[in-house]
Amino acid sequence: MTEAGIAEILHPNGSVRFHYARYLSDAGDRWIRHGPFFAYHDDGTPASRGTYDHGHEQGLWQDFHPNGQLAAEGCYDKGEKVGEWRYWLADGTVQP
């Protein structure tokens, strides 16, 4: 890994949309996400969280409705969904 840092991408209203760790590829032509990843709705509430491992989603990921209710939860292995994923409606009802 060469140059590393934290990226924060903003919504048009100035609130944080994405916050994640990254490093510059060896070729120096692109940033690669590596480490914790957080996404936020435009009001600042969490939208998604998980972890990247050298550019690929890895481990537990969760998505949230704007009201804070869990929307989806499951795991990734090297960027591919694995195992059982669960989904909920904004009122907390489990989706079939």
pLDDT per residue as tens, the chain (96 positions): 456 799 999 999 999 999 999 999 999 999 999 999 999 999 999 999 999 999 999 999 999 999 999 999 999 999 999 999 999 999 999 997
Q: Are 21 and 34 in contact (CB under 8 A)?
A: yes
pTM flag (> 0.85): yes
Name the DSSP letter for residue 95: P
Residue extents of the structural domains in the chain: 4-87
Distances (CA, A) of 72 to 25, 53, 59, 84, 86: 31, 20, 14, 11, 6
Exposed / middle / buried, residue 29 (Cβ in 10 Å: 0-12, 13-18, 19+) = exposed
